[in-house]
């Protein structure tokens, strides 16, 4: 971290070097000596800044410059922004350079919309190559941080071109540019394979790495050809590390596989379901030897057994606590592994991946559909417990990135609490009070009908199968009959193959996400599904889902490295369409289905990647100008 800060100060000092302010006079030198004496008395950026408030002229500016450097070193971004605002009031300061500092400070505070406004205001004023290079790099970094690699790429290319042409050193530029290119599809890279030699060189290098990821020999030959073609290209700085990385990503020949599952303790039943899925998938794989170990063995014993077996790959553990223990002990650091759960810590190896039936995947999928449909005011219903609150918080956090409206939240404690929660959220209780008041005024029978609020345009249920079957009728009777029917959605928790055998009627019209394995009309492996139903006709829902997850975990192994490095790649499995994000976590896209006429039918629903608010604002500003 210290090295990064020193590098940052170098580039920002470079910006200062190209300042257009006049050289200081003799008088200014005296003020600088005085400022330096004062600065030596201070111990922090804040204290230097306070000293500057009591000075005037060049002396004050000198102290503010020192406070600015100290604020960067201390990563005090609010103070850096405040210093920039103070310097903006001084005519003698290079305002272009200063506004770049302000935009940088705002980006560090996730004030991306404000930073982009400043950067856009500088368009056409960037006559100094240092200013232009930094401006382009900072703009690219904002778009890249919001996962818009295609929009970031042209800015990265221009920063790289300017830096190369003018011998400007921008720390992290080449690595950040390369990381951004790895997120682009081959189609996008082909579109960028034009323009300047610098841009073509970057695009060609990224294309080579995508095309030849599975062949180390062909990749080496392509890289050697690239080196001869692009002598002196800035991308050579990323080649040594990336060559080693992509060699690691060549396909693994798995002869010996270790499976870590709970084979004792309270989670043994879950382990049995996973084991069944593993065994079913092994029939499709050419793996010589597979060994099952109980993940609940103590860490030392487990690590010793794994070392003795020396496997080519490890699948598991299932329990997060056991993943944490093995990670802390570095027991699998040199072995490729696919853990069967999420991981919140630091990924210790690029060969480690994480696969979980995470409900957050479904929440995000539903949210993207709501935004694609233009829904403005969603209402969420969830149980008032840790899991319900977690999913509500996740939805809220993601929704705020894309919309200024706030979702309506309803947390119910139990089935008795559901009616009150729903009538309160829909404001039906207020309608009933108004009816009661009118009846009292007229003292006779008054024809009436309760009204529900009209601003709610979609409802998302995060309850389990039993709760959903109780909630849905309450919603049906509490929405005004003369109002448009509010679309109802739910997660896979709402669906139960056991309950559905006898009870589908109350869910008419409900949309929900689900694993393909759990939807008879969408199962492609009919023979496997029939065999499963014959062997385990009464298997509970969670066991069926874990079977699908384990089956996919084994079948995805030959493709797991390619999935992790080639953007847009997906694996179609029993548990959904699988892809791998930059942190090594497998993300799932589930199927949509709807209850219709007491049956479940597959549906295709509109979805698209939403645009963050800060980009919406930037687009609006750009259009208005």
Which of 89-103, 252-266, 280-294, 547-561 has the least mean pLDDT? 89-103
What's the pLDDT score for residue 388?
A: 96
What's the pLDDT score for residue 219?
A: 82
Instruction: Give the residue, 542 or 447, on which the prediction is more confident.
Output: 542
What's the pLDDT score for residue 487?
A: 93
Q: What is the mean pLDDT of residues 464-481?
A: 80
β strands within 189-332, DSSP E: 256-261, 289-294, 313-315
What's the pLDDT score for residue 34?
A: 52
What's the pLDDT score for residue 518?
A: 96
Helix/strand/coil (H, E, C) string of 200-217?
HHHHHHHHHHHHCCCCHH
Question: Cβ neighbours of residue 189 under 8 Å, at least 6 residues apart?
Answer: 181, 203, 206, 207, 210
What's the pLDDT score for residue 572?
A: 95
Q: Decide if pLDDT at 234 tops 70.
A: yes
Question: Cβ neighbours of residue 287 under 8 Å, at least 6 residues apart?
Answer: 254, 255, 256, 257
Query: Which of 542, 407, 421, 406 lies closest to 471 in space, CA to CA?
Result: 421
Q: Decide if pLDDT at 3 tops 70.
A: no
The H or E element containing residue 513 is strand 511-514
What's the pLDDT score for residue 41?
A: 58
Instruction: Give the residue, 214 or 472, on which the prediction is more confident.
Output: 472
Q: Quick: pLDDT tens for 284-319.
A: 998 999 999 999 999 999 999 999 999 999 999 999
- Residue 141: Cβ-neighbour burial (10 angstroms; 0-12, 13-18, 19+): buried
H runs (alpha helix) in 289-374: 299-309, 320-328, 359-372
Q: Decide if pLDDT at 40 tops 60.
A: no
Q: Decide if pLDDT at 27 tops 50.
A: no
Strand 576-580, strand 571-573: pairing? antiparallel
Measured between alpha carbons, how far is 560 from 576 in angstroms, rounded to an integer? 15
Q: What is the mean pLDDT of residues 411-424?
A: 87
What's the pLDDT score for residue 44?
A: 86
- Residue 391: Cβ-neighbour burial (10 angstroms; 0-12, 13-18, 19+): buried
Percent of the chain with pLDDT over 90: 49
Which of 82-86, 409-413, 435-439, 487-491 has the least mean pLDDT? 435-439
Q: What is the mean pLDDT of residues 145-167?
A: 91
pLDDT-derived band at 20, boundaries 50, 70, 90: very low
What's the pLDDT score for residue 434?
A: 43
Q: Decide if pLDDT at 472 tops 50.
A: yes
What's the pLDDT score for residue 401?
A: 77
What's the pLDDT score for residue 88?
A: 85
Structure-token match 């219709």, residue found: 596
Q: Decide if pLDDT at 11 tops 90.
A: no
Q: What is the mean pLDDT of residues 352-370?
A: 95
The listed range with the strongest mean pLDDT (19-33, 77-91, 438-452, 475-489) is 77-91
Q: What is the mean pLDDT of residues 450-462?
A: 78
Q: Decide if pLDDT at 136 tops 80.
A: yes
Measured between alpha carbons, how far is 490 from 487 in angstroms, rounded to an integer? 10
pLDDT-derived band at 271, boundaries 50, 70, 90: very high
Q: Decide if pLDDT at 18 tops 60.
A: no
What's the pLDDT score for residue 589?
A: 95
What dihedral angle (degrees, nearest 10) is formed by the CA atoms of 152, 153, 159, 160? 150
Measured between alpha carbons, how far is 398 from 301 in angstroms, rounded to an integer? 42
What's the pLDDT score for residue 482?
A: 44
Joined tokens for residue 445: 């029978």
Q: What is the mean pLDDT of the chain?
A: 83
The listed range with the strongest mean pLDDT (156-160, 342-346, 454-458) is 156-160
Q: Decide if pLDDT at 31 tops 50.
A: no
For Cα atoms 192, 196, 197, give the angle at the middle one, nearest 5 degrees: 100
Q: Decide if pLDDT at 258 tops 60.
A: yes
What's the pLDDT score for residue 59?
A: 80
Q: What is the mean pLDDT of residues 443-466?
A: 72
pLDDT-derived band at 446, boundaries 50, 70, 90: very low
Instruction: Give the residue, 511 or 38, on which the prediction is more confident.
Output: 511
Joined tokens for residue 259: 């499976």
Q: Decide if pLDDT at 126 tops 90.
A: no
Three-state secondary-structure class, residue 411: strand
Q: How many CB atoms lie within 10 A of CB 181?
A: 26
Q: Decide if pLDDT at 455 tops 50.
A: yes
Q: What is the mean pLDDT of residues 68-81?
A: 90
Measured between alpha carbons, how far is 508 from 504 in angstroms, rounded to an integer? 7
């Amino acid at each position: 971290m210290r090295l990064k800060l020193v590098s940052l100060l170098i580039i920002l000092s470079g910006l200062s070097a190209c300042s257009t302010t006049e050289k200081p006079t003799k008088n200014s030198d005296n003020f600088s000596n005085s400022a330096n004496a004062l600065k030596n008395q201070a111990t922090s950026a804040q204290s230097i800044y306070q000293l500057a408030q009591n000075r005037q002229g060049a002396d004050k500016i000198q102290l503010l410059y020192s406070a600015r450097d100290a604020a960067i070193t201390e990563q005090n971004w609010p103070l850096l922004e405040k210093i920039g605002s103070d310097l903006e009031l001084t005519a003698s300061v290079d305002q272009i350079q200063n506004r770049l500092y302000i935009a940088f400070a705002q980006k560090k505070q996730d004030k991306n919309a404000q930073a982009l406004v400043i950067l856009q205001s500088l368009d056409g004023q960037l006559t100094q190559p240092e200013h232009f290079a930094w401006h382009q790099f900072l703009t690219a970094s904002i778009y890249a941080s919001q996962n818009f690699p295609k929009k970031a790429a042209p800015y990265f290319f221009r920063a790289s071109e300017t830096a190369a042409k003018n011998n400007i050193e921008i720390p992290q530029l080449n690595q950040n540019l390369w990381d951004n290119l790895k997120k682009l599809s081959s189609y996008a890279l082909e579109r960028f394979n034009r323009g300047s030699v610098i841009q073509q060189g970057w695009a060609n290098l990224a294309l080579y790495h995508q095309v030849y990821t599975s062949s180390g020999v062909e990749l080496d030959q392509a890289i050697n050809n690239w080196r001869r073609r692009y002598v002196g290209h800035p991308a050579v700085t990323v080649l040594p590390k990336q060559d080693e990385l992509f060699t690691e990503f060549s396909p693994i020949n798995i002869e010996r596989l270790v499976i870590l599952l709970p084979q004792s303790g309270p989670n043994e039943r879950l382990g049995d379901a996973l084991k069944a899925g593993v065994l079913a998938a092994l029939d499709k794989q050419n793996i010589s030897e597979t060994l099952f170990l109980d993940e609940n063995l103590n860490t030392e014993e487990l690590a010793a057994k794994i070392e003795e077996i020396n496997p080519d790959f490890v699948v598991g553990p299932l329990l997060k606590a056991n993943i944490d223990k093995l990670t802390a002990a570095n027991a699998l650091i040199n072995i490729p592994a696919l853990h069967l759960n999420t991981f919140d810590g630091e990924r210790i190896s690029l060969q480690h991946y994480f696969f979980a039936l995470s409900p957050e995947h479904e929440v995000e999928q539903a949210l993207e559909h709501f935004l694609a449909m233009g829904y403005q005011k969603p209402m969420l219903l969830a149980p008032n417990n840790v899991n319900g609150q977690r999913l509500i918080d996740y939805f809220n956090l993601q929704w705020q990135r894309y919309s200024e409206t706030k979702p309506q939240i309803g947390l119910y404690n139990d089935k008795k609490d559901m009616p009150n929660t729903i009538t309160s959220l829909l404001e039906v209780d207020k309608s009933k009070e108004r009816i009661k008041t009118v009846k009292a005024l007229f003292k006779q029978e008054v024809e009436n009908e309760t009204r529900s609020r009209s601003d709610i345009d979609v409802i998302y249920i995060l309850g389990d199968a039993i709760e959903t079957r109780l909630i849905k009728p309450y919603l049906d009777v509490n929405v005004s009959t003369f109002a448009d029917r509010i679309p109802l959605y739910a997660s896979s928790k709402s669906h139960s193959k056991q309950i559905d055998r006898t009870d589908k009627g109350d869910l008419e019209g409900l949309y929900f996400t689900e694993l393909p394995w759990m939807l008879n009309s969408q199962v492609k492996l009919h023979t496997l599904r029939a065999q499963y139903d014959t062997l385990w006709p009464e298997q509970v829902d969670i066991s069926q889902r874990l079977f699908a997850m384990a089956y996919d975990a084994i079948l995805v192994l030959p493709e797991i490295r390619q999935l992790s490095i080639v953007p847009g790649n997906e694996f179609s499995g029993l548990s959904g369409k699988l892809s791998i994000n930059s942190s090594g976590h497998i993300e799932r896209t589930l199927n949509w289905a709807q209850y219709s006429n007491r049956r479940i039918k597959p549906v295709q629903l509109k979805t698209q990647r939403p645009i963050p608010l800060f980009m919406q604002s930037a687009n609006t500003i750009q259009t208005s100008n």
